Amino acid sequence: MGHGKLRKFAENETFSCLIQPDASSVLVKDGSKALVLRDHPIKGHWIGQVFSSPGPIVLELGCGKGDYTIALAERHPEMNFIGVDIKGARLWKGAKYATERGLKNVAFLRTRIEFIGAFFGPDEVSRIWLTFSDPQLKSENARLTSPLFLERYRAFLAPGGLVCLKTDSRFLYEYTQAVVRANSLPLLASSTDIYAPQAMTTPDRRSATPPSLTAGPLPLTRPRVATGPEWSQPEGPVTATTDWAEVTGVQTFYESMFLKMGLSITYMEFTLEHEGPFVHPTDFDSDYWRKAEGPRRTFSHNPTKL
């Protein structure tokens, strides 16, 4: 391990906005010696123990260096934002920035997202951002929009709370569309290219009238997806509840890089209003979309073949 990482890890210990629980604090062995998840003391107590403001809590899962979390927090001082990632060296940048600027509505949690249920209580979170998550091309249960993860989110997402997915991966976008259809989830916004010319026709897409369904990419309007016996598009325009400026005006480092490469950025937001367990989609052609994805761009900025 390089001296730079060691320095960051040491400095991380001084940041009050960065919570770094040991895995042993949330994983214990049951009577059969199997590891089970147990609640962390912070669960249900973020307001009061971490944040002094009673504003809504917004999560960014897989936040990396925390640039999106920070940008949203600076835009909305009346709300509280938590970036979650397992990489301490990445979280260092966001935690240091928040500390130096005295941002009281920002916190970071270093943990595996698989353990997220141990840290948040019922109705404690109002929105989840998934920004440029790994599409996990070969492992469905590892995708952050899989039924397995949606079950975890539902345990702490408040009624009507949003899941917002922003990604350069068409594979992950189409997979998530299929999950939404399979579970008849309310889809509030959907776009295969948020920076298409149509997307800039009005400053606030929340009240905009959607263009024709055959007129190219549909920025934050009616989703152009297939319908089935268990899922259909609602009548009238499908409108976004997220501020349009936050969708296009706040960019991560990798988003800026992908845009320079000429790649399309997709977006969708939906709620988890669903009775019973979440089911896996049966109409998603993973082989087709895996091939359509092409070489994946890695964090080393070099394409890799599947």
8 Å CB contact between 253 and 238: no
Indicate the helix (H) or strand (E) that contains 290: helix 286-293
**C-alpha 102, offset from chain centre:** 25
Within 8 A by CB and 6+ apart from 111, the residues are 21, 26, 84, 86, 118, 119
| Known catalytic residue at 39 | no
Q: Look at the block and give the residue holding tokens 């509030």.
A: 188
Instruction: For residue 93, give the 3-state DSSP assignment.
Output: helix
User: What are the distances in angstroms from CA 159 to CA 87, 184, 208, 212?
Assistant: 30, 16, 25, 32
123, 134, 193, 243: which is the annotated catalytic residue?
134
Q: Would you say 167 and 247 are in contact if contact means Cβ atoms under 8 Å apart?
A: no
Q: Which residues are known catalytic residues?
A: 134
